[in-house]
């Protein structure tokens, strides 16, 4: 099999305003795999997620991001979305006055490049709302406007489910959630696991991994992945803390997958 990996990040170096954040990060995600990327605050996890989605503030100084074998570095965020990349934001932005329904509809149209029939739209959304335990009235609220932390994260998962991306990057989707919300969101993510889809879970804590078992775990420190392993690694991490990995950060380690 010579199939291209879904996502292949190669020796990525990224700066914000000349300050280097990512310093040679490499990572490969294949379709059907769930990867967890763990690391302390400031290690560059969110930077990676924004770079995958094409945030204009970040400058890529070196390296390559291949999605389905093609470089996406020159693609606009909307083109990446249409290609099949989705980012669930750590801090989703409010868009007052724009209903969730209108936003989702526009997003589906954008990703597909064609209008979505009303009937199909309603059906898709209804099914997913039910799965996430969200009332229908949610659709009439304004995007993230006055949402609780849990509602924001649910909306991110709802968007992922409706848009059906090939690669879903979930940035700290567990942060700010109480245990019940965490369970619902985790179930939402689990239901999106499929042989066609790659998932990259970015998380600070191990607790989300109690509900979602990843195929691979990577530890990120100071802009690089310093250890990669299986789900076991997360438990080791919980026991040792990130301190134990810091000393290894001088020697970059490539992924095992």
Partner 1 sequence: MSNVIKPRVDINEDYEKLYGFHMPDNYVFKAKPGLDEKIVREISWMKSEPAWMLENRLRAYQHFLRKPMPNWANTALLNSIQFDNIYYYLKSTEKKGDTWDEVPADIKETFERLGIPEAERKFLAGVSAQYESESVYHSMHEGLQKQGVIFLDMDTALKEQPEIIKRYFGTIIPAADNKFSALNTAVWSGGSFIYVPKGVKVEMPLQAYFRINAKNMGQFERTLIIADEGAEVTYIEGCTAPVYSSDSLHSAVVELIAMPHARIRYVTIQNWSKNVYNLVTKRAVAYEGATVEWLDGNLGSKLTMKYPGVYLMGRGARGEVLSVAFAGNDQHQDAGAKMVHAAPDTSSVITSKSISKGTGRTSYRGLVKVYPGATNSKSTVRCDALLLNKESRSDTYPTMEIDEKRVSIGHEATVSKIGDEQLFYAMSRGLKEQEAMNMIVNGFIEPFVKQLPLEYAVELNRLVQLEMEGSVG
Chain residues that interact with partner 1, rule: CB under 8 A: 53-60, 73-78, 80-82, 86-87, 89, 92-98, 102-103, 106-111, 142-143, 159, 163
Q: Which is nearer to partner 1, 21 or 237 (CB)?
A: 21
The distance of closest approach from Cβ of residue 159 to partner 1 in the complex, given in angstroms and rounded to an integer, is: 7
Q: CA-CA distance, 56 to 95, in Å (whole number)?
A: 19
* Angle value at C-alpha 226, between 207 and 186, nearest 5 degrees: 20
Q: Which is nearer to partner 1, 15 or 30 (CB)?
A: 15
Q: Which is nearer to partner 1, 87 or 208 (CB)?
A: 87
Give Cα separations from 102 to 140, 176, 210 (angstroms): 9, 26, 35
The distance of closest approach from Cβ of residue 189 to partner 1 in the complex, given in angstroms and rounded to an integer, is: 18
The distance of closest approach from Cβ of residue 210 to partner 1 in the complex, given in angstroms and rounded to an integer, is: 28
| The token pair that represents 52 in the structure block | 């995958």
The distance of closest approach from Cβ of residue 71 to partner 1 in the complex, given in angstroms and rounded to an integer, is: 11
The distance of closest approach from Cβ of residue 15 to partner 1 in the complex, given in angstroms and rounded to an integer, is: 11
Q: Which is nearer to partner 1, 198 or 214 (CB)?
A: 198
Q: Which is nearer to partner 1, 5 or 54 (CB)?
A: 54
Q: CA-CA distance, 27 to 219, in Å (whole number)?
A: 11
């Amino acid at each position: 099999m010579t199939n291209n990996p879904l996502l292949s990040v190669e020796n990525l170096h990224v700066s914000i305003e000349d300050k280097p954040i990512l310093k040679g990060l490499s990572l490969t995600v294949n379709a059907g795999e769930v990867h967890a990327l763990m690391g302390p605050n400031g290690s560059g996890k969110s930077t990676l997620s924004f770079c995958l989605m094409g945030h204009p503030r970040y400058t890529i100084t070196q390296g390559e991001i291949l999605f389905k074998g093609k470089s996406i570095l020159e693609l606009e965020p909307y083109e990446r979305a249409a290609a099949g990349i989705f980012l669930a934001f750590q801090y989703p932005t409010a868009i007052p006055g724009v209903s969730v329904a209108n936003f989702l509809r526009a997003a589906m149209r954008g990703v597909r490049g064609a209008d979505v029939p009303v009937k199909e739209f309603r059906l898709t959304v209804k099914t997913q709302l039910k799965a996430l335990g969200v009332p229908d009235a949610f659709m009439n609220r304004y995007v993230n406007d006055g949402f609780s932390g849990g509602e924001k994260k649910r909306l991110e998962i709802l968007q992922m489910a409706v848009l059906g991306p090939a690669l879903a990057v979930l940035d700290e989707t567990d942060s700010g959630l109480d245990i019940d919300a965490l369970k619902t969101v985790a179930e939402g993510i689990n239901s999106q696991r499929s042989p066609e889809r790659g998932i990259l879970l970015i998380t600070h804590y191990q607790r989300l991994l109690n509900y979602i078992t990843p195929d691979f775990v990577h530890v990120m420190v100071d802009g690089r992945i310093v250890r990669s392993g299986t789900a076991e690694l997360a438990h080791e991490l919980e026991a040792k803390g990130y301190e134990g990995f810091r000393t290894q950060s001088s020697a970059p380690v490539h992924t095992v997958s």
